Amino acid sequence: MPEMIEVELYRQVAELAVGHVVEAVDAPDPWYLKRGTTAEELAAALVGATITGTRRIGKLLLLDTDAHVLGLRFGMTGRLVVGGQAPIERLEYSSARSDPAWIRFTLAFEDGMGDLQMVDPRRLGGVELDPDESRLGIDALSIAPAQLRDALAGSTAPLKARLLDQAHVAGIGNLIVDEVLWRAGLDPARPARSLDANELRRLHRHLRSGVVELTRRGGSHLGDLHEARQRGAVCPRDGAPLLRRTIGGRTTYSCPVHQR
């Protein structure tokens, strides 16, 4: 968390900044500035610039200006507040408290519309000037069946680990991938390259429909499997005790009966 669904909500509220001129940049935490970006460089690049548009690739939010692109990553606990509006008040697995020290980055605008703030208790997100967008794979919501096949082909990594690799498929995180593989009936520990044509089609169908449905519900944490993500729980589909494993470095829940 947040995954592509939450970042899309952030992108929508960031639209409030389009057409506004940056008056000031506040970047008090050097750790939060990535790939050599400094507070001074950000101020030089952005003060006086106009926000011209917003985009999202996977879990990366991009703010286009008339001179540069600003990339915002939210890690596990990052939230976006624009003009006092926060599309998400509290993230799953994050604190419900509010602490001014958690404001890691701020853009202030000239005309009184307010500001854009990144609030991140755990400091796992980051800000980058002119990020290399080519390092990301195809967004999970727009990936075609053949592109998904190519992303998995030849890989001996576990299926879940490959899907979590943002260089191959961008946007899905731990909660979405467990939900999608549970719906598709695929074992997350299988080698990614082991899927046959029918399984690839099934995975693609559930990847798209799952993301669309969870977006409609309002978050990555609102899947059918989510309430069972705890020790001793059973599969919501067939009642079998769920497996709890670490796959791709992430805690993973799956059903040993219908996920093969």
Active site residues: 2-3, 59, 250
Question: What is the CA angle 168-169-173, rounded to 5?
Answer: 125
Rounded to an integer, what distance in angstroms lies between the CA atom of residue 107 and that of residue 164?
31
129 phi-psi bin (left φ>0, alpha ψ -120 to 50, beta other): beta
Residue type present at position 206: H
Query: Residue 144 burial (CB < 10 Å; 0-12/13-18/19+)?
Result: exposed
Residue type present at position 238: D
| CB-facing half-sphere around the CA of 223: CA atoms within 13 A | 30
Helix (H) or strand (E) run with residue 252 in it? strand 250-254
Rounded to an integer, what distance in angstroms lies between the CA atom of residue 223 and that of residue 228?
10
Write phi, then psi, for 255 (nearest 5 degrees): -100, 125
Q: How many CB atoms lie within 10 A of CB 190?
A: 17
